[in-house]
A and B are shown apart, each in its own frame.
Chain A
């Protein structure tokens, strides 16, 4: 690694560390109802929205009511998005004349975007009309991030409130996250992207005659507005098939830097928002440190591995699937951040990464997307691990576990364990099904251990609601579309529902003041324990599968090819 590579890494983490607490305090203010004065015009819009919809933001909901509102809203989202895809040929804004999407792919894509996964078994420029992209996919990019944020807010209220029966108002949380956070950030960001070269128009694809006289079709479309929210909302779904490797999505090193920043920005900031809501700066920093440790450990291994080169090819800089303008280090940094946050956009093809870099990406997915994770989703997932950590610490010292003044009992432990284990069952179970059936195996395009990694990555990505892929896998089949839809659905709502239930039962509890025997949820010891629990759960569950995939491939590197 050159001096310049270190400089880029330092700049990235420096800016992230500087901005995250600031944006976190803004989030806390907005969701606490203290709208800054310079946002007064938006406040008027917010009021109009509630009036138009016929609901009141002040009406408090029990967790069941909150969950029902969330589920109905998401179900409507799936149906509308499917409908758009199944009829796009007859709808306006389809200058490329793209046909209707086949139903298995339409279902998979609808579930994928509603669950904030953005797994794409298609290439946007050859499959989706402009209308489907802006009015279907991009809308879900906003509201699925808003949904994640809402669940986190409900859980934070459950921890902050004492003897309460309610956890907030879903509609208010959703509208505020979109109106005060996602839309303003996306507006600014998309214009910066256009200035750098990202396309944004509604024109038909343009045919040009190249220098040598061949015909080339230049794909166009409203890309910038969608790319901004795909990064800010940790969605990750590309406007074009090759995602942020496409020069029209990510034309310069600066857009690359800003997009990487956007990938981790809200997931990092929400930790500080949470800290403010529960009134503990120390706990927020401890959570942030635990996430950062896990991120940096993975990044270190991936960078080491990738800069070694491929011994079978004279250790050349491994540029297969990478872009010249980004180089190796930016591609690895992106791969690690996008899999840590449940973003899933890529600027280089993960399928062609070195085995250990691929392993880091895969392991990030398997940890349950809690290393910063998705907007809202990352932290409520991590809090399930925190509950587990506090419980284990309680076992070790022989005291009943408490977290932020709330006594954790059987009900909370069961709910946290469901949230931790549901994605694991899906990943290993569905991978096994795929490998045992011809339908599953036929999608594999790399022979040897890498083929196993392709399938394992697909289900880890979908169950973790990430959306990145070892993209060689031929995933646009009925088998992968349907099984994948189930994986994404369980990976999303199999965590959201237990977490909302936990929010309800925590809110109802009385506060018990900390005593000398209470295990402190801040400081290096807590960080170490939390990191260990996350790592051990991931390692115990997935080590055998990882060994047969990327680890074996690494050991064979340079001595065997398939």
Chain B
């Protein structure tokens, strides 16, 4: 499969999360864990710091958790200008019990009135778009 995000490569950060984005483009939400000691490894990295293994398993994880933190962005900065028309928009850090509390970022979908730390959220996947800089994206929604 040809992955669209490859053509829009963002090079910052650790750079071990290609499989995450590939999975999203395939319509699946997967996070990495160590193939040997089964420790969840998020953000993705190249070697397990607990047991030393270089192998990871990318396992499907339920897109369900709680808001660990959030912000309402009132200004579209230089590299996120594609979202100028959405300002103000809310970005959520969700903590996922299905992956030992890994925290995954996503822009909020739907009403933002109930946004607060601890609130339950459910996720879905958006296909690559200009707003998400040519990458697929996780979106979180507050559970009523």
Q: Do A and B bind each other?
A: no
